Structure 1
Amino acid sequence: MSDPASDPVLSLTDAKLTLDGNAGPVEILRGISLDVSRGETLGLIGPSGSGKSSLLMLMGGLERATGGRIAALGQDLTAMDEDALARFRRQHMGVVFQSFHLIPTMTALENVATPLELAGHADAFERAAEELATVGLAARADHYPAQLSGGEQQRVALARASAPRPAILLADEPTGNLDGPNGQAIMDLLFGLRDRHGATLVLVTHAPELADRCDRVIRLRDGVLDMAGAAA
Structure 2
Amino acid sequence: MSNPIFSLKDAALRLNGNAGPVEILHDITLEVMAGESIGLIGPSGSGKSSLLMIMGGLEQATGGSVHAMGQDLTAMNEDALARFRRDRMGIVFQSFHLIPTMTALENVATPLELAGHEDAFTRAEKALEAVGLGARASHYPAQMSGGEQQRVALARATAPRPAILLADEPTGNLDSTNGEAIMNLLFDLRDQHGSTLVLVTHSDALAARCSRVITLRDGRVA
TM-score range for the pair, normalised by the shorter chain length = over 0.9
Distance 1:206 1:109 in 2: 30
Distance 2:219 2:55 in 1: 15
Report whether the alignment pairs 1:130 with 2:126: yes
Report whether the alignment pairs 1:108 with 2:104: yes
Aligned counterparts, 1:69-108, within 5 A: 69-108=65-104
What is the aligned counterpart of 2:53 among 57, 75, 81? 57
Q: Which amino acid aligns with 2:168?
A: D
Q: Which runs of 4+ in 1 moved over 3 A?
A: none
Distance 1:93 1:212 in 2: 23
Deviation at 1:25, TM superposition (A): 0.6
Distance 2:11 2:141 in 1: 36
Aligned to 1:167: 163
SS at match of 2:167: strand
Deviation at 1:111, TM superposition (A): 0.2
Aligned to 2:23: 27
SS at match of 2:83: helix
Deviation at 1:22, TM superposition (A): 1.4
Report whether the alignment pairs 1:46 with 2:42: yes
Aligned to 1:13: 9
Aligned to 1:193: 189
Distance 1:70 1:169 in 2: 16
Aligned to 1:215: 211
Measured on the aligned residues, the alpha-carbon RMSD in Å equals 0.5
TM-score (norm 2): 0.99
Q: Which amino acid aligns with 1:26?
A: V
Q: Which amino acid aligns with 1:172?
A: D
TM-score (norm 1): 0.95
Consecutive unaligned residues of structure 2, counting only runs of 5 or more, are none
**Identical positions, percent:** 76
Report whether the alignment pairs 1:179 with 2:169: no
Aligned to 1:229: none
Q: Across the two proteins, how many residue pairs are aligned to each other?
A: 222
Deviation at 1:23, TM superposition (A): 1.3
Distance 1:10 1:125 in 2: 31
Distance 2:18 2:80 in 1: 31
